[in-house]
Each structure stands twice: as C-alpha cells, then as structure tokens.
Amino acid sequence: MTLRAIVTGSGGYLPERILTNEELSRTVDTSDEWIRARTGIGERRIAAADEVTSDLAVNAARDAMAEAGVGPGDVDLVIVATTTPDRTFPATAAIVQAKLGVENGAAFDVQAVCCGFVFALATAANFLAAGSHKRALVIGAETFSRIVDWTDRATCVLFGDGAGAMVLEAQDIDVDPDAPAAARGLIATEIRTDGRLADLLYVDGGVSSTGTAGQVRMQGNRLFRQAVDRIANAMVTVAERARIAPADVDWFVPHQANERILNGVVDRLALRRDCVVSTIAGHGNTSAASIPLAYTTARRDGRIKTGDLIMIEGLGGGLTWGAGLFRA
C-alpha cells in the first residue's frame, strides 16, 4: 500500500465585474481584434474595491470543500499560492484559515507567480505522501488587477482576478510500481526555477526595495519564446516518471497565459486538440488561480470525470515552470 494525495474536490470563484476588451480599448491603445488574435482573451474579471485575495480564496475553498464533503475540522493544511497577498504578513493562507474556521495544522503561502498552483500542489502532495498531514486545501488566488499598470497596453490586457481550490486527502492505496498512473491521486510533479531569467516578468517594487507593491513589468515576446519549450519538457519529465506518453492524458489543464502557447504545447507533444481545457477567453490570465479555475470549470460542466487522467502545467515570473499529473 502507498500513501497518496487524492483530489477529492475542487472549486472556483470569479468576481462579478466583467472587463471586456472593448472597454479596455477605450482607455489604452488596443483593440478587441488584437487581444483575441494574440492571446485568445475576450474578457476578464476584476475584484470589487472591498474584495481582497483572501475573500476570493475563501469562496473557492468553500466550493471545493462542499464537493469533497469536508468541513473546517477535517483540514490540517492550507496552502495558498498567490503573488497578490492581502498583506505583507501574515500569510494569506493564515487569513484564509481563520475565515474558514480551520484550527488544525499549518497554513502558509507559496510564491511562484503563475506557476504557483503547480508548486503548491507538489508541496501539499509531498506533505500528504509523507504522512505528516491528512487533508490539504490547496488554493490559487489572485487580485492581479491591483499590481497591473493600467497604462501599459502590453500587460494590462492580459490579467484578471479569481481563485480556484482543490481538496487533497492522504489515502493508503494500491499502486502498481510498473503502472503508477493507473491508480487515483497525484502521480508525479516537476517544479523548476531559473532565477537568471527574473527580468522577463517581475514587479518593479517590493517591501525591502521601494516600500511599495510595484507594478507588473514583462518582456512578453522573450517570455513567449521560453514558454513552449520549458512547459513541454516538464510535461515529458512528468509523463516519463508516470510511465505514460503525454498523449495518453484524458485532459490537459494548462495555466491560461496565451492561447498560442497552449496550441504550441499541444502541437509539440501531439496531444488531441479536444483534450485541452481552455478558459482563457472568459477569464484571461488569473496567474496562480488559472489551473484550478479551469479544472473546476471542466469538472462542473461534466467533461472531467472521476478516474480521468489530468496533466497540468504552468510558467511564470521567476522564471518558474512545472507540470503535474493526477488521476481525478
């Protein structure tokens, strides 16, 4: 028997306010045609003035806990992946823990920007597989609209706010070492960082440098050129560990940065076009929230079923990138 992290529930939350490409084109020099053609984005959500990241996270977490059929007393690990915390400290996870009424175990944030959810999921899966914790709430939550430079057309059209969550539970199950992907749960993850590429995507401020939160700065084209290679390599590594071919997955649930990046990965790895879960048109890039939001969307509309094999991937500031494979 092997102790494995099983995904028992997922949830999502999007703020009410919709910001369309049309509306953006009235404030910066852009157009609906350009944004759709270059990114696939049609609209994004923006958090209300009185909504903070932990509010979004709590809504997504409650949704995931309801599906998993667990209450606050059942959770002993809360990990929030975010780049837009409510405060410099305490961790947003600590605030979320208190708002949910979770009293056991530990809560902490993971900071890997748009790859944050993959990092957080890998972290939680390792805690659960080690037997130190029983049930984890893994959340990606962002109010990226608060750090976007709304005068910079190259970045402000890309990002949106939202939150997604998964409940993971440690279960002792039979895993065939020759076919690790046959059993449910987290099968393999790969997380990578190359700090030498930090200038591709960063904010120009910080607590100990400027004393401000800073605003997003990006060399989009250079980042784009890094994306397909690194994402595809991470997915191949994960597939090899799981003893499958990338094309064997039932669903590909990527970080939603750019439709052209998704298509590039699909072509590179010869995945079926119809296995891609894309929410980019309606959500934009919600950074750490995008993967669990997309997963929840496909779960709720009936595409992803229990037992399906799911590949996730992300790439973000740092540079961070990675992939993960689980059986739902």
Where in the sequence numbering do the catalytic residues fall?
114, 255, 285
Number of residues that bind ligand UT7 (CB under 6 A): 21
Report the alpha-carbon distance of residue 250 to residue 311 in Å, rounded.
8
Q: Least distance in Å: CB of 164 to ligand UT7?
A: 15
Contact between 262 and ligand UT7 by CB under 6 A: the answer reads no
Q: Give the whole-angstrom CA distance, residue 115 versus residue 69.
A: 28
**DSSP string over 14-58:** --SEEEEHHHHTTTSS--HHHHHHHH---EEEE--TT--HHHHHH
Tell me whether residue 9 or residue 314 sits nearer to ligand UT7 (CB atom): 314
Minimum Å gap between C-beta 196 and ligand UT7 is 17
- Rounded to the nearest 10°, the torsion over CA 38, 43, 44, 48 is 150
* φ and ψ of 162, to 5 deg: 165, 180
Give Dmax (Cα) for the chain: 59
Position among 8, 10, 21, 39 found at the interface with ligand UT7 (CB under 6 A): 39
Residue nearest to ligand UT7 (CB): 220
Q: By CB under 6 A, tell whether 257 contacts ligand UT7.
A: yes
Any contact of residue 97 with ligand UT7 (CB under 6 A)?
no
d(CA 47, CA 307): 34
Stretch that binds ligand UT7, among 12-20, 69-77, 133-141, 217-225 (CB under 6 A): 217-225
Exactly one of 1, 221, 270, 302 binds ligand UT7 (CB under 6 A); which one?
221
The one among 8, 83, 258, 278 contacting ligand UT7 by CB under 6 A:
258
CA-based end-to-end distance of the chain: 19
Cβ neighbours of residue 104 under 8 Å, at least 6 residues apart?
73, 75, 76
Q: Is the peptide bond before 90 cis (omega within 30 degrees of 0)?
A: yes
The least CB distance from residue 35 to ligand UT7, in Å, is: 6
Assess 316 for contact with ligand UT7 (CB under 6 A). yes
The residue ranges that bind ligand UT7 (CB under 6 A) are 30, 34-35, 38-39, 114, 153-154, 157, 201, 220-221, 223-224, 227, 257-258, 261, 285, 315-316
